[in-house]
Amino acid sequence: RLGAAEEALAEAQRDREKTAVEAAGLRKEVELVRVRRAASGKEQRECVRQLESAQAQAAEYGAELSEKRAELATLQSSLDTLASDVAAAEERVRAKLRAMDSEQAEDASREEGTALKEKQLALLEEGLASSRPTA
């Protein structure tokens, strides 16, 4: 009987050690799950932080884009005004050139008229000179 009790005690001791080893293994698994959860939570928090950072940067880029669009609209307006001013200046220059051409044509016509009158006068003077009695 003593041998059987010792055997049972030894068996119980082995079972206890086996259970202790299993319990230690389970504790390690539980700790590993906790670490993984913590790491996962940390990764999630990091992802959320990165997402928020990206959203903030996108908002900043959006604001910059709006500013650039406003600047572009202002530049386009200035360019349109400048193009209008250039077109008006070109029209004024063309009008002045037409006026100058007209004046030149009038001057040429007057000069032709003056030359004709001079020729007529010369012919009249010749005619008068030839019609006078010679003394």
Task: List the pLDDT tens digit at each of the 135 positions of the chain.
Answer: 678 888 888 999 999 999 999 999 999 999 988 888 888 888 888 989 999 999 999 999 999 999 999 999 999 999 999 999 999 999 999 999 999 999 999 989 999 989 999 999 999 888 888 877 665
User: Could you write out the DSSP letters of every residue in 17-84?
Assistant: HHHHHHHHHHHHHHHHHHHHHHHHHHHHHHHHHHHHHHHHHHHHHHHHHHHHHHHHHHHHHHHHHHHH
Q: How many CB atoms lie within 10 A of CB 111?
A: 10
The pLDDT tens digits of the residues spanning 84-123 come to 999 999 999 999 999 999 999 998 999 998 999 999 999 9
pTM for the full predicted model: 0.45
pLDDT of residue 36: 85
Q: Which whole-number Å values give the CA distances from 89 to 19, 66, 76, 78, 92, in the listed order?
A: 102, 34, 20, 16, 5
Give CA–CA dist 127/120, Å, rounded. 10
User: In the prediction, which pLDDT does 6 show?
Assistant: 85
